[in-house]
Structure 1
Amino acid sequence: ENLGHPVSSKNLNDGLTVELRNFQEQAVSWAIERENVPGGIQSFWWSKLPNKVGIGDLYYSPGLDMISPKPPKLVRGGFICEQMGLGKTVISLSIILQNPAPSTLQSGTLVTEDALDTASNGWSSTDNCAQKIGESNKCGSIFSRGTLVVCNVSLVGQWVDEAKSKLKDPGLVYPYYGQNRNRDPIKLAQNSIIVTTYAVLASDMQRYERNKGKAGSKWDIPPCESVRWWRIICDESHCLRSSQTKQTQAVKRLVAENKWCVTGTPMNTNLSDLRSQMEFIGIENLNRMFDCFKGLGKTGGKNMPRCFRALERFLLVMRSMMIRHSMNQTNISSGRELMELPKKTERTIKITLTKEERKAYNTIEKSAMEFYRRLRMQEDERVFNRKYLAILQKMIPMRLACAGGPVSQNATQKCADIDKGDKDRFHAKPDEHTECSICLNDFDDARATACGHIYCKECIEGVITAMDSSTGPCPICRREINLEMLRQVTFADNEVGDEENEGRDDSPDFVFKSKFEVLLRELRLIRVEDPEAKSLIFSQFKTTLKWLQTELVKHGFQFRTLSGDMTMKARAKALRDFQADPPTTVFLLSMRAGAVGINLTQANRVFILEPAINPALETQAVGRVHRLGQTKSVEIVRLVVKESIEERMIHFLKDRYGKEYSAVKKSTLSESSDVQSTKNS
């Protein structure tokens, strides 16, 4: 984590409207060194061997345990992986400010060999793309002394606001977003900071591919790809972890002198999550590198020596291109914590369902268990393991019941917010579809496009509405799709599916209210203690959030909401209203759309309505309030239904993630309290 890296003697606060903390100055100094190291960051794990026998130059890497006759390619940049809430944005802005591009070349001019040869130190003469230097309208053919920031759609407005507020002279800051964005690459290159989204880059790439070769087409190359940027910053870069997505492919085609991956969670559950991010930065020999890392995590017996060797190589390479600080670290000289944030307390409220709710829940659970047993009996072990998506789908009605709100009594076959009718369904085989190609997680409320590709409902809506439209290209095949034509997906083979459909009826919805009653009690207590205190409420289910919108108004609570299907303008307005309007004390957030990157320090209480299969989502949710800029004590409240799938999920996550997950939950569960609905007394 490079804790011993020296801080630059240069005044790193010059030009900022805020003062950097010591660890932020260390991160900026480290990053500037990586942008200026003569041989690039790969020189940290490569060295030239002495030539005593006259056989030519040879280079050796102890980290990769290999010899090469060629020097490593000049690569500048790396990973900035500060823990959530430690100011990754202001660190990035300081890097932009303190290490500008050489002034000898003007933004918007054509890249030529002569221009690179006469440039002062900083611009490399190495062509980082497949096109020839000097060709107009080609990849990286236009100089820009600016920085391109790529982020999620929900962060565009925040990045623009941060640049304008944190920099004394931000220069030209342009959000490259929306249908009316200026697609002239020369105009783009003349801005100081350009903020765009992963979805916009993918859309531009697909538009270029559709129009390539057509007479009169202006789209010979996507605008951002035409520019040779001084710097590219990929915010929340963990979304690049799959090389198969259009977003990742579009980002990797960009050309820049310095490339940074900025994220608090560079890996989710697998070391391979780093690979596509390294490809974007330009790291070479990745096959060899990850082959050397294979022994990581394999401890015990004969595996120990291999594990230690892999760990040594991993640390040698990663320490050279990654820096990370965490809140629990201490300053070596003073012994004080890096961040003295306000106190954070966590507690879990265990909720007992009413007798009527328990009866309805048991009916849903019984049907799911029958499906599981029948599937288990029909298939052998290998086939059964490939059908876990069908099983996950059967778990959703139970999770919806625990989350609260109306759930169909026939919910064993449908999610609460899915249109009824087989004509609106898409039947898929679980062994042919494994995960959403946008979020790379198991499907959550899966939807199929007209072209037959399947995504999470919120993911595909977020990608399409990022274009401020209800239509757009399919991320996989690029065919035009319409949000109104999306179909619910049923993961089940024909035999099991037909049996499950027998005896279906249109029973009325049953409303689960116990969790909401506990939430309402907590919100009322907060309002009595501090009428202007603001709270965040996270749920993974859109139907639960919609139901809460109706119920909160009935009880006198004003709210704003943020979901994946909102346009950027609607998101920005919701954020402004919540931050600036005192009577608005509740923000309803989708765990996927609202838990990443957003700064919501106006709130100091977080309610998590359901446990997440991916614990990183909960960590991101907490990080929205317990971060730099928070001035009040923070309370995290998790609501868990007793004797339900939620309790079993928590035990499963403890077993899966071990001490790391248990450490988060230990203090929480020890402070838990049992709550029983008054209707059950």
Structure 2
Amino acid sequence: MASNKRHFETIDLSVDEDIPSRLSKAPRFNGIPFDANSRITASQRYDENGENELVDELDASQNYDAAFANYELYGNMATKIVGVRFYNGHISMGEMVLLIREPNNQYDINAIRVDNVRGQQIGHVPKKDAAKLAPFMDTRSLLVEGVTTSEKKQFDCELSLKLYGTSDSTERAHLKDQMNDSRLPLDEFKRREKDDKARAKEQQAREKARQKALKAAKKGGMSMPGGNGNLSIPGSSGTYAGGSSRSDIPSQTLDDILQESERFNPRNIEHAVEQFGLNEEDLAKMDMAEQPEAMLTTMLPYQRQGLHWLLRKENPTFPAEGSKESVQLWCRQERNPKIVTNMATHFSLLDKLPDLASGGILADDMGLGKTIQVISLLLADVAAKKMAVSDVSGATLILAPLSVMSNWSTQIEKHIKKNHTLCVAIYHGAKRCHIDATTIGNYDVVITTYGTMTFEYWNNKNSPSAVPRKNGLFSVNWRRVVLDEGHNIRNPAAKTSVAACNLLAQSRWVLTGTPIINTLRDLYALVKFLRLSGGLDRFELFNSAIVRPVNQGSEQAHKLLQVLMRDICLRRKKEMAFIDLKLPELNEFIHSIKFLPHEKERYEALEAEAKGTLDTYRAQQGTEAATAYRNLLEILLRLRQTCNHFKLCGAKRFDLLKMGEKEVLDLTPENKKALQDMLHLTVETQEECPVCMEAPVDPVITLCAHFLCYNCIERIIEEQHKCPMCRARIESKDQLIRPAAEEAQEPDFDVNESSSKVEALLAILKASKKEVDGKPTKTVVFSQWTSFLNVIQPQLVAQGYNFTRIDGTMKAEARDKALEALENDPSCTIMLASLGVCSVGLNLVAANQVILADSWWAPAIEDQAVDRVHRLGQKRKTTIIKLVMENSIEERVLEIQNEKRKLMMLAFAEKSNKRANKGEAASVAQIERLLGGRSENVSKP
């Protein structure tokens, strides 16, 4: 009889000649074959007793979520789980299961094991069905998900499988033929084909009717409204319709300019599912805790409400029998209250309550005092050091980015009474204190960085030693672990995320203003860290239960997501009435500008080139497609720069893309500089890392000209010494090229030559000279390109403005002087600021006006920049003006931004959400929209 003890080993595919041959037929992602050889690896998970299990240590190249993110349903397959009498795993009807390939199974190389959500084996898929499915699972052509449709019987259990495949229009037909040959069901695929044909027929009929009406209208001498097909922002008449010289432009007041602009408030975006979440009224009525006696600073009412919530979530309780309430998606069944079921995975327990996670996500807006609330939690829980639980210490571990680590010790000292001081240790650098299970009793709080924690966990090894250890961060069972800026672990495959998940703690907290940054998959990493039970710590189940159905518009999945977030996450926004920060009014405007004729000609030429490159990309495969994609991103960047100044997008960098056609470059100084330029270009266009499919973290470029995150490529080099994109040999990490130190970008043209956007900017600054309440208006001008700041700067000098500047080329001392000038010098009324440098960590309340000269792909970075001005300490009404060129890529970027703002709204069921996501590169579907085309059925990168 087979044992049900889980034991995983890394699978060596070389023992089976059939399976490697399947891999050569793998689908393509980002224009390259999906390398299943390094991805079909088993979990390294300890599960001897079902307790204190180590979280999966994912292969950094696995890329499971990215590969399957856009798959669509092809068919439904009825089968069974057989051999159930040999295993002790518990399963009930309606539960989700895990389907795991076992190519090394000694009885069947096509074996597919079936586990319940706890990882306990139930049985196997029948051999006949497994033989059909295994080749598709091995090549990742199909994602197979299962749900039981009967109770577990003596010999088997009924099982329903859903088969998901590529949504790429160029690969669908091939997969359909393969599935037909294997006699796999295609019921959903055929239904969708039928619907598509019906829609196409209706579209043709509508177009025919429109053309007929157009001919009739022309014959009658009428004109059709909106016939040019161009997008325009309502209420925007434009600023400069003709004239290219400054003398042609009449003087305007700021009120005149704003009247020509569209008032814009991203907070007013509504969503139909808001009814499912905690609304502002419910948040205002939350219970308050008493302020801890040791707290020196008087806490605001909403902060005391936050403290009450923190204390309650550290000690979660299960609803009593008869209650219809849920906790962490667990609830009692109405027909039998002794059975508790997970609402997401439908896993059930009889006469036993599940383990509930202690902790949650504090996601208040920036500036609402997340730090103060956590400090009050520490003080309210001082009795933890006297707890009877012998293996849990009374100390709290705080993980923070290096730049804010010292802020924690400063704030703890500032907000606590002298006679109640906590003993704080900084665990960082060569002089760090010694920590083990004995000495931890000397400390109340230990503060360290993500980097220190990550290095200590892995210790330059691919397989870290077991936890707990003899000393260090992983030798202590902490009272609680607090992740400041917790979205840093959003990639669950990264070394930092794996290390954080393996810290031992009674309670776990995530502090972040952006728990969802790019997609709902970001939330999975936080759920994994919190250790929610019921199966949601497995991405396959989280994706199947929440991510995919939410993306497909399922109202039930929307509700499920919001119930989860309402339970584990507290989010208040500073504009909520009950918060009452008494911030002055904030008005935001979109100011539209018309291209001058010669600018429009240059822009349309680039746009046509971009559309042609998109067509080329569609027609290519492999490395040719990757090169076309980089060309496409390059042209999109140039289109955006043309909106600022028609000569800003010099063509010299196009030559860099030709480097990608060579296999491997020699590491000469010239090639290193060229690769660094290419890396800078790739980062600037916000291209995703092809391994983790996230915005780049610590980006590097290989000698074969491929761009990746350092953490992603590091482990691949250690294990394979090959580039994951082209398989070129990489001997060591020393061959990776890092970005060059930022240098001021000097434009290769006469900076005195102006543009429509520059003229619009100068007109706004001129109109802003009037003092308000005896104080001058101070303006921060943000741009993501320092080269554009270099264009603006001589124009300000010529106009006699006293201004200052902050960008990434400046040292800390120079930045401090710039901030001091803006704050204390009445004659200094303008600051030129690099968007990437100034979106975090600065206080710019001395200004009361912001001009956003250009738009980012996603809104959160520029939103955070605005928050530097409109925050606690701001005493004046604040105006935000976003400059947008009419009928350009910038208008279509605004549409995508608004969609991204809705994502976190969906999770929290908010009526409004000001700040949503950052760092997400444009998908090909989005690129089509940016170029004014359709976006259906496109899914390459």
After TM superposition, the score normalised by the length of structure 2 is 0.51
From the superposition, tell whether residues 520 and 50 of structure 1 become closer, same or farther in structure 2 (CA, over 3 Å): closer
Match of 1:60 among 313, 317, 341: 341
1:330–1:556: structure 2 CA closer, same or farther, 3 Å change rule? closer
Alignment equivalent of 1:34, drawn from 285, 306, 313: 313
Aligned to 2:590: 348
Please state how far the C-alpha of 1:413 moved relative to its aligned partner.
0.8
CA displacement 1:529-572 (0-9 Å, x = unmatched)? 27676544433335445666777678554535354x889x7799
Aligned residue in 2 for 1:148: 398
1:73 corresponds to:
355
Q: Is contact 2:770–2:777 with CA below 8 Å preserved after alignment?
A: no
Secondary structure class of the residue paired with 1:350: strand
Give the match's secondary structure for 2:385: coil
In structure 2, the residue matched to 1:407 is 648
8 Å CA contact retained: 1:208, 1:220: no
Conservation of the 8 A alpha-carbon contact between 2:848 and 2:869: yes
Pairwise CA distance, 1:145: 1.6
1:202 and 2:460 aligned: no
Matches within 5 A, 1:174-253: 176=427, 180=430, 182=432, 184-185=434-435, 190=442, 192-209=444-461, 223-253=472-502
1:633 aligns to 2:877 (yes or no)? yes
Contact map agreement 1:75 1:282 (CA 8 A) in 2: yes
- Give the structure 1 partner of residue 529 of structure 2: 280
How far the C-alpha of 1:649 sits from its partner, in A, is: 2.2
What TM-score comes out, normalization by structure 1 length?
0.67
* Greater shift in the superposed pair: 161-170 or 204-213: 204-213
Amino acid at match of 1:15: M
Deviations 1:513-541 (A, max 9, x none): 43345445545655652767654443333
Q: Which letter does structure 2 place at the counterpart of 1:346?
A: E
Q: Which residue of 1 is the match for residue 860 of structure 2? A: 616
Deviations 1:107-128 (Å, cap 9, x if unpaired)? Answer: xxxxxxxxxxxx33xx5858xx
Q: Which moved more, 1:584-593 or 1:607-616?
A: 584-593
**CA separation of 1:196 and 1:423: change in aligned 2, threshold 3 A:** closer
What does the per-residue CA deviation read over 1:164-200, in whole Å, with 9 as the maximum and x for residues that have no partner? 43444464555555x5562643688855444444344
C-alpha distance in 1, partners of 2:363/2:357?
18
1:556-595 deviations in whole A, cap 9, x for unaligned?
Answer: 54535354x889x779957975786546665555444542
Alpha-carbon separation, structure 2, partners of 1:184 and 1:644: 59
Offset of residue 253 of structure 1: 2.4
Does residue 454 of structure 1 match 2:707? yes
Q: Deviations over 1:67-94 (max 9, x none)?
A: 1366433521101122344332332332
Q: Indicate how the Cα distance of structure 1 residues 265 and 485 shifts in structure 2: closer, same or farther if over 3 A, else same.
A: closer
C-alpha displacement of 1:276: 0.5
The 1:261/1:485 distance shift into structure 2, 3 A limit, reads closer
Change (3 A) 1:205 1:537: farther
Alignment match, 2:203? none
Is the aligned partner of 1:314 residue 2:561? yes
- Offset of residue 35 of structure 1: 1.5
Displacement of 1:240 in angstroms is 2.2
For residue 573 of structure 2, what is the amino acid of its counterpart?
S
Decide whether the 8 Å contact of 1:245 with 1:437 is kept in 2: no
| Count of matched residue pairs | 572
The amino acid of 1:399's aligned partner reads: R
The answer as to whether partners of 2:318 and 2:327 remain within 8 angstroms in 1 is yes
Question: In 2, are the aligned partners of 1:562 and 1:571 still within 8 Å (CA)?
Answer: no
Supply the distance in 1 between the matched residues of 2:596 and 2:455 (Cα, whole angstroms): 49
Contact 2:294 2:416 in 1 (8 A): no
Change (3 A) 1:646 1:309: closer
1:435 aligns with 2:688: yes
Counterpart for residue 295 of structure 1: 549
The offset of 1:231, in angstroms, is 2.4
Does residue 283 of structure 2 align to residue 3 of structure 1? Answer: yes
What's the offset of the Cα at 1:316?
A: 3.6
State the Cα deviation string for residues 444-465 of structure 1 (Å, max 9, x = none): 9975156976248xxx7xx9xx
Note closer, same or farther for the CA distance 1:311–1:11 as it changes in structure 2 (3 Å cut).
same
Task: Judge conservation of contact 1:45–1:63 (CA < 8 Å) in 2.
Answer: yes
Identical residues among aligned pairs (%):
23
Partner of 1:647: 891
Distance change (3 Å), C-alpha of 1:639 and 1:172: farther
Counterparts in 2 of 1:369 and 1:578: CA distance versus 1, 3 Å: farther
Give the secondary structure class of the aligned counterpart of 1:296: helix
**Cα distance in structure 2, aligned partners of 1:385 and 1:482:** 22
Q: Kindly tell me: are residues 91 and 548 of structure 1, through their superposed partners in 2, closer, same or farther at Cα, counting changes over 3 Å? A: farther
User: Runs of 5+ in structure 1 lacking a partner?
Assistant: 105-118, 127-142, 214-218, 300-306, 332-336, 464-472, 489-506, 666-681
- For 1:198 and 1:437, the matched residues in 2 are separated by 24
Counterpart secondary structure, 2:283: coil
Whole-angstrom distance in 2 between the partners of 1:163 and 1:579: 30
Superposition CA RMSD, Å: 5.2
Match of 2:364 in 1: 82
- Bigger-Rg structure (1/2): 2
State the match for 2:633 in structure 1: 392
Alignment check: 8 A CA contact 1:149 1:195 kept: yes
**How has the CA–CA distance of structure 1 residues 156 and 166 changed in structure 2, closer, same or farther, with 3 Å as cutoff?**
same
AA paired with 2:643? Answer: C
User: Which residue is 1:679 aligned to?
Assistant: none
Q: CA deviation at 1:31?
A: 0.8
Equivalent residue for 1:99, pick from 367, 377, 381: 381
Contact 1:396 1:415 in 2 (8 A): no
Equivalent of residue 323 in structure 1, options 565, 570, 583: 570
Partners of 2:624 and 2:876 in 1: how far apart? 52
Residues 42 and 74 of structure 1 are in contact (CA less than 8 Å); yes or no, is this contact kept in structure 2? Answer: no
Distance 2:895 2:464 in 1: 53
Paired with 1:251 and 1:395, the residues of 2 have a C-alpha distance of 37
- Within 2, Cα distance between the matches of 1:81 and 1:254? 22
CA distance in 1, matches of 2:333, 2:609: 68
2:300 match: 21
Distance 1:424 1:415 in 2: 11
CA displacement 1:382-401 (0-9 Å, x = unmatched) = 99799655422221122233
Q: Secondary structure at the match of 2:651?
A: coil
Say whether the 8 Å CA contact 1:80–1:262 is kept in structure 2: yes
CA distance in structure 2 between the aligned counterparts of 1:220 and 1:546, rounded to whole angstroms: 54
Aligned-pair CA distance for 1:62: 4.3
Q: Measure how far apart 1:410 and its partner are.
A: 1.6
Taking the TM superposition and a 5 Å limit, the aligned residue runs for 1:573-584 are 577=820, 581-582=824-825
Change (3 A) 1:99 1:522: farther
Any unmatched runs of 5+ in structure 2?
1-277, 320-324, 660-667, 719-731, 742-746, 915-941
**Could you say what secondary structure the match of 1:407 adopts?**
coil
Between the aligned partners of 1:359 and 1:221, the Cα distance in structure 2 is: 69
Corresponding letter in the other structure for 2:592: K
| CA deviation profile, 1:256-291 (whole Å, cap 9, x unmatched) | 222111222212353222111111112121144553
Assess, with a 3 A threshold, how the Cα gap between structure 1 residues 585 and 230 changes in structure 2: closer, same or farther.
farther
Instruction: Please say if residues 341 and 628 of structure 1, whose CA atoms lie closer than 8 Å, have aligned partners that are also in contact.
Output: yes
